[in-house]
A and B are shown apart, each in its own frame.
Chain A
Amino acid sequence: MRAIDTLLSGDLPRSRLLALALGAILFALALAPFLFPGTRSLDVAAKVCIFIVLVASYDLLLGYTGIVSFAHTMFFGIGGYGIAIAMTRLDAGWSALAIGTAGALAVSLVLSLLVGLFSLRVKAIFFAMVTLAVASFFAILASQLSDLTGGEDGLTFKVPEFLRPGFRLLDEPVLGVVFGGKLITYYLVFTSALALFLGLLRAVNSPFGRVLLAIRENEFRAEALGYRTVVYRTLANCLSALVATLAGVLYALWLRYTGPNTTLDFAIMIDILLMVVIGGMGTMYGSILGTTLFIVAQNYLQDLMKMASGATRGIPLLPDLLHPDRWLLWLGVLFVVCVYYFPLGIVGRLRHGGARKG
């Protein structure tokens, strides 16, 4: 029990249903290659792992510190481009991977520090605008510097041999699963994501994390107690940016590709916001539930609707409404319902037994 408490930094789910849901997701992700064989489902599982980290790092900013930033996808992109550029320019080995990651982290650190120091002193809306401007500028830069970034096409690159799909650890499949580069990459992604999430969980449950909450609650009082809030907000901004960068590295490694559409697209920024809000801001666990629900819906709602549309054939109107082409409409309806009925997110709902907090 104490080991689990330490692992979760003393921040237990505090709801049986939540613990169950988290356990189920952990179980599904840990055994995804065996439970859901097939390229597409493994892609979804890997994306869930990576986005949990990305969304959790955004929750550190939005939920815990009360900072609204639109530059999170920029840091995600820096990670992706960092290793993509290193892998295409250097020998596609582990050292190139390390150099690319280190370079990306350094760039993110400097950028987040600059953005933070210049704009975190002033009003929240100003910070949001600055991040929006910087992120747009970065996206334009990435598409214009096509010699370096591949422009709109992005960069496809080779990964270390050990992680290539062609690599075989065992000659024969075990339990119908090929033990090769794809499986190794998946577990690299999974364990990294798990470690990063637990690290973030520790950060928000540390003395530092409580100061962030205090700043969110009453910045004036935090200052009066002797906390220099600019320092804390800037550090939170940097930490969040660094973790997003690592998530970007993992995503690029999984896709063996980095491009504007997989990292810098503003639609991804909106998705991150939705996942945080649906899961529950300021809870960390919300990022797990929000991300899983969102990405699974994004990928499988269309299939589900195709089945439903087929099943309701003969009934007027319904098959048309449930036509797979309408999936975006239904995804939208799902979000509106979620936000309306769970203003504190799914985690807030589970923890407070449905009672709305005044």
Chain B
Amino acid sequence: MQTAEHPVLETRGLTIRFGGHVAVNEVSCSFHPGTLTAIVGPNGAGKTTYFNLVSGQLRPSAGRVLLFGEDVTDDPAPVRTRKGMGRAFQLTNLFPLLTVRENVRLAVQARARSGLNMVSMWGRQSELIEKAEHFLHRVGLAERSASLASTLPHGDQRKLEVAMLLALEPDIFMFDEPTAGMSVAEVPVILELIHDIKNQKDKTILLVEHKMDVVRSLSDRIIVLHQGALVADGNPAEVIASPIVQEAYLGVSASA
């Protein structure tokens, strides 16, 4: 899935070692707008660690991260977010004692860069409040907006996580198993949302996902991580059929 355009996001030889263990091993990869790339691999393959390196939660032992051609390896997470990266977390990561609306509001406000405003009344910024409501509506949480985030059931907390990512309106969307732990009935809402983002054409989407049916239906490209290294990269049908994936990820012996 190579296009003539410059990559939005690129990693070059990205590596991180924890003691003697190499969690991510020289991963070089570039991502282009309008493309959804699924990152798959067995548990412990380094998918979430790779995400953490890309979005700045971790610093690499070696290698670079480039965002719109600019080296952001030394930028901390908030700076990368301001430059257009947005991330939803695998383990739900909210502000538990704030309301659902306030959680999304904080993302809307981060996007609007008005966090340093000490004089306006939080409760009267109707434009930002409406925006927050809009994103809550999109994930189907509008009627829960006054509840404390900690009181939501697990599936709704995942939806809130996604609403916060949408509210950041990033150029790069990073989803880390967005449907994990959701009931079967809830999954389509999230998938449809990801589909909508894809249809905007100018967004770059990275998706870590275990469910192969989800990966098949959404992705334009699949990359496979195995023991921290990138072992396959290509269009979905090819990658899923390749022997190395059959062996490494799906657990089928290549000789079988």
Residues of chain A at the chain B interface (Cβ within 8 Å): 6, 9-10, 202-203, 205-211, 213-214, 217-218, 220-229, 231-232, 235, 239
User: Given A207-B114, A220-B93, does the pair A225, B168 have CB atoms closer than 8 Å?
Assistant: yes
Asked if residues A227 and B115 are in contact (CB atoms below 8 Å), the reply is yes
Q: Does B117 contact A (CB under 8 A)?
A: yes
CA distance in complex: A206, B93 (Å): 23
Min CB distance A3 to B, Å, is 13
Bound-state CA distance A211–B123 (Å) is 14
Task: Please name all residues of chain A whose beta carbon is closer than 8 Å to the beta carbon of B168 when the two chains form the complex.
Answer: 225-226
* Chain B residues within 8 Å of A205, by CB: 121-123
The answer to whether A217 touches B96, judged by C-beta atoms less than 8 angstroms apart, is yes
Nearest residue (CB) in A for B167 is A225
Residues of chain B touching chain A, judged by Cβ–Cβ distance below 8 Å, are 55, 57, 76-79, 81-82, 87, 89, 93-98, 102, 105-107, 109-111, 114-125, 164, 168
Which residues on A sit within 8 Å (CB–CB) of B115? Answer: 207-208, 211, 227, 232
Which of A226, A228, A235: most chain B Cβ within 10 A?
A226
Q: Please, could you name 6 A-B residue pairs with CB atoms under 8 Å apart, sorted by A?
A: A9-B121, A207-B116, A208-B118, A225-B168, A226-B110, A228-B79
Determine the chain A residues whose CB is within 8 A of the CB of B110 once the complex forms. Answer: 225-227
Residue of A with least CB distance to B83: A226
Chain B residues positioned under 8 Å from A217 (CB to CB) = 95-98
With A10-B123, A206-B117, A206-B121 in contact, is A224–B105 under 8 Å at CB?
A: no
Q: A208-B118, A223-B77, A225-B110 are in contact. Are A214 and B98 (CB under 8 A)?
A: yes
> Lowest 4 A-B CB distances belong to which pairs?
A226-B81, A10-B123, A217-B95, A226-B110
- 15 extra interchain contacts, Cβ-Cβ under 8 A, other than A9-B123, A209-B122, A224-B89? A10-B123, A206-B120, A206-B122, A207-B125, A210-B106, A210-B122, A214-B98, A217-B98, A218-B96, A223-B77, A223-B78, A224-B78, A225-B107, A225-B164, A226-B168
Which of B78, B81, B98, B121 is within 8 Å of A6, CB to CB? B121
The docked-state distance in angstroms from the alpha carbon of A202 to that of B123 is 11
Q: How far is the CA of A202 from the CA of B105 in the complex (A)?
A: 18
Question: Bound state CA distance, A6 and B98, in angstroms?
Answer: 22
**Looking across the interface, which residue of chain B has its beta carbon closest to that of A226?**
B81
A56 nearest CB across to chain B (Å): 15
Give CA–CA (A96, B168) in the complex, Å.
50
- Kindly state the separation between the CA atoms of A314 and B195 in the bound complex, as whole angstroms: 85
Q: Are A214 and B119 in contact, with the CB atoms below 8 A?
A: no
Nearest residue in B to A232 (C-beta to C-beta)?
B115
Known interface pairs A214-B98, A232-B115; A224-B81 also in contact (CB < 8 Å): yes
In the complex, how many angstroms separate the beta carbon of B214 from the nearest chain A beta carbon?
24
A224–B55 touching, CB < 8 Å = yes
- How far does the Cβ of A127 sit from chain B's closest Cβ, in whole Å? 19
Residues A203 and B95 in contact, CB atoms below 8 Å apart: no
Query: A224 to chain B: which residues have CB within 8 Å?
Result: 55, 57, 77-78, 81, 87, 89, 93
A222 to B77, CA, bound (A): 10
Bound Cα distance from A206 to B116, whole angstroms: 9
Closest to A236 in B: B118
In the complex, what's the smallest C-beta–C-beta distance from B81 to chain A, in angstroms?
4
- Bound-complex Cα distance A231 to B120 (A): 19
How distant is the Cα of A312 from the Cα of B221 in the complex, in angstroms? 87
Q: How far is the CB of A264 from chain B (nearest CB, A)?
A: 29
On whether A10 and B121 interact (CB within 8 A), knowing A218-B96, A225-B168, the answer reads yes
Partner of A213, one of B77, B78, B98, B117: B98
B78 touching A227, Cβ below 8 Å:
yes
A219 to B: closest C-beta gap in Å: 10
Taking CB atoms, residues of chain A closer than 8 Å to B164 are: 225
Evaluate whether A210 and B102 lie within 8 angstroms (CB atoms) in the complex, with A225-B107, A225-B164 already known. yes
Residue numbers in B under 8 Å from A6 (CB-CB): 121
